[in-house]
Amino acid sequence: MTVITKITTQKNSAERFNVYIDQGKGEEFAFGVDANVLIQYDLKKGRVLDEFELAEIQFADEEKKAYNLAVTYLSYRMRSEKEVRDYLKKKEVGDMIVQQVIQRLDSHRYLNDEEFAKAYVLTQVNTTSKGPSVIKRELQEKGIKPDIVQSTLEHFSKEEQIETVMKLIAKLKGKYKKYSEIVMKQKIEQFLVNKGYSFSIINGAMQHVDVEKNSDEEWQALTQQGMKAHRKYAKYSGWEYEQKMKQNLYRKGFSIDQIEAFISSLEEE
């Protein structure tokens, strides 16, 4: 027979209590419980408990602690169901208790993957430069179902995507101005693809932004790249030097006529 001999409030939390019992060998600490569990199971001094009740009470307390963990985790921002599951498992909560907590959170409407996905897409569109493909991958990683991913991404219209890409291109032109026009366009395109935008969106945006370089800008880029190549191949001379310079600068997107003009300008100095 197990009898509750004493219940005390824990020092670090007024919402948790220590339960002491006597199983015929004197008083000993049995377990800690949340206030709700204490009330739910009518725990008090003198209450007799059997083995089944002891196991049930401890399971209920573990569930309550896990539930509190999940609610605190959700208090910072919205989370997907998978994020909450992964968080609880990281905290070493058992699978059965995790499932119970998820069901409870769902019944209280603390979890809603569709609303989460809508809010996530809206946040990414308004605060980042991520494109649909990247956002789609992130939602999938958060366990959002394919049909929800597809429907929520429809809120990121093609017009909004093109507008975002146009702004990015304007910034990238300055970042990549030291390269030839060809390489600059390649780098801009690759950057935008990595950001998650489709080629059709990129091409659509390119039609509205001037990404062409005038002759002075191209010559300035050639000079910058050419001087780097010149320092690299300065130990060579004659035909070998010219070939290495031409191969290097041609791979960087400059025309043969431009390269020859640059090499001639070096010879004149």
Domain that holds residue 6: 1-49
Strand order in 2-10's β-sheet? 27-34, 13-22, 2-10, 48-49
Domain limit, last residue, from 49, 68, 86 = 49
Statement to judge: residues 162 and 149 lie in one domain: no
Domain assignment present for residue 32? The answer is yes
C-beta of residue 21 within 8 angstroms of C-beta of residue 48? no
Tokens in use for 165?
């890409």
| Burial grade of 78 (CB within 10 A; 0-12, 13-18, 19 or more) | middle
Statement to judge: residues 171 and 186 lie in one domain: yes
Statement to judge: residues 4 and 21 lie in one domain: yes
Give the total number of structural domains in the chain: 4
Low-confidence ranges of the chain (pLDDT < 50): none
- 200-222: per-residue pLDDT in tens? 999 999 999 988 999 999 999 99
Statement to judge: residues 119 and 148 lie in one domain: yes
Q: What does the DSSP 8-state code read for residue 112?
A: -
The pLDDT assigned to 4 comes to 92
The pLDDT assigned to 138 comes to 97
The pLDDT assigned to 24 comes to 86
C-beta of residue 262 within 8 angstroms of C-beta of residue 222? yes
Tokens in use for 104?
């409870």
Domain assignment present for residue 166? The answer is yes
The pLDDT assigned to 14 comes to 86
Half-sphere exposure of 68 (CA within 13 A, CB side): 13
Domain limit, last residue, from 27, 49, 71 = 49
Statement to judge: residues 146 and 176 lie in one domain: no
Statement to judge: residues 225 and 245 lie in one domain: yes
Domain assignment present for residue 21? The answer is yes
Statement to judge: residues 137 and 168 lie in one domain: no
Cα first-last separation, the chain: 104
Domain assignment present for residue 227? The answer is yes
Statement to judge: residues 163 and 149 lie in one domain: no
CATH of the domain at 163: 1.10.10
Domain assignment present for residue 97? The answer is no
